Amino acid sequence: MDTDAPAPRVRGRSPSLAALLSFLWPGLGQLYTGKRRLAAFFAVPALLVLLLLVYELRQGLVVFAARFADPAFSRAAAVVVVLLGAWQIAAVSHAFVSGEPRPTRRSLDTVVLAVLAVVLVTGYAGAGMLLALAADAGSHVFNPESSLVDLTTPSPNPSSSALPGSTATPIQTPSIDSRVTILFTGVDAAAGRTETLYDSIMVVSYDPKTDSVQMVSVPRDSASFPLYFGGQVNVTTRINALPTYVRNGWVRSPDSPYITLVKEVSYLVGIPIDYYAVMDLDGFVTMIDAVGGIDVVNPSAISDPAYATPAGTITGFTLAAGPQHLDGAQALAYVRSRHGVNNSDWARSSRQQQVLVALLHKMAQPSELLALPGFISTLGASVTTDFPAGQVADYVAVGQNVPSQNFTDVVLGPPYTLLNVNTTSTASTTCLLNYKVAALSIQLFGQDSLWYGKPAPANTCP
């Protein structure tokens, strides 16, 4: 006998209970009311979505969460969520009308249906909207035309003696089995500044062959360095302002302002840089607060009476040595403070590396995974990168289990640097000892180093 025959209701089957069962899983309410074919009809799509979810979770929760960084994945997930929500609402509604209402409980049944409908609409619509916001934010993050980087093509200047010709070649996108290197820069573009300053310059390189990570921080005040396309800058041209110098024509580069910085850091550190990531100060504070703060171990007490906020207000900054939990504003001060006893540019560069590792560790915690779409949506235009969005999860998968002892972090301070090379003004600058940095590059990167088997660049320090 066909149980899906014309009778729309089955006597004795509660509409509210049928609706509740299809609320728990589409089709259960239809099965309860005796409509087996319709039960399968409503259950199968939900089952397919569940199987898809299980497949996406095959590499673990951390990798699954990382997939939401890809705007295409977030958009697809939003569509699936909305369609599944509509499907489940239809299943609940159909199960409700398939039951046999009792006159004495009609009002209660209606209330139950209304509550279930509100819960479904609110839940699915909220999840879909959050995923859509994450996709929109991801489009800003993975945006090569972001205002955080100046990719303006420079005007040709063949007569300039400072531009003998670029020897740089486009870097090919590496495979998942080869080394990948990213330049992380923190930009200070506060209102009223006449120049854009990249005060955090950190090279992070992952080598899958040795399952290791190398982190190298370049001092922001580095000056008198050789240029990758020929010539060198003077003792007053600091590397953190190099894009501004290129934009204003004071340094004649064959590349756009920000790409000049990328290629220059690549040249100085001696490793091809595949991608870049830029974050402004507001984005940094937002990111730290979005994950509930980070935990660090401060190597030495900080007492910096001269510390000023990005707005220029002098507030000072103090922090005891030892384990500390930092919110966004505190973390920003932690990575920017450079005055006081036992404090310097080298110390804060080391702290920047420490914060990056702490942030990545915090984001990989199970408690943070469900919040990732919302976390991405809070970043907006504060972060940008040219890293392929579709490869984020792949690299998270191969890199999340790198042993802590396989992390090497270096700050290019002494003995790789000469101090106070600018004696013509109060602006302190330093100079990299190129031969020492080249030797370090070979030590860190082996045959991947640009200086492997080649003579070190000439000394350019005064």
Give residue 64's domain range. 15-141
pLDDT of residue 159: 37
Q: Which residue among 141, 167, 190 closes a domain? A: 141
Number of domains forming the structure of the chain: 2
Residue 415 belongs to a domain: yes
Q: What is the CATH number of the domain that holds 201?
A: 3.40.630.190
Q: Which residue among 141, 160, 190 closes a domain? A: 141
- Cα separations in angstroms, 163 against 92, 231, 332: 71, 7, 38
pLDDT of residue 29: 93
Residue 434 belongs to a domain: yes
The answer to whether residues 251 and 342 belong to one domain is yes
Residue 152 belongs to a domain: no
Residue 167 belongs to a domain: no
The answer to whether residues 189 and 127 belong to one domain is no
pLDDT of residue 49: 95
The answer to whether residues 373 and 274 belong to one domain is yes
pLDDT of residue 400: 74
pLDDT of residue 190: 57
pLDDT digits (tens, 9 = 90+) for 146-166: 777 877 877 655 434 333 333
Mean pLDDT taken over the chain: 83
Residue 348 belongs to a domain: yes
Residue 171 belongs to a domain: no
Does the pTM surpass 0.85? The reply is no
The answer to whether residues 256 and 119 belong to one domain is no
Residues lower than pLDDT 50 in the chain: 1-2, 6-7, 9-10, 158-171
Q: Which residue among 110, 141, 172 closes a domain? A: 141
pLDDT of residue 169: 41
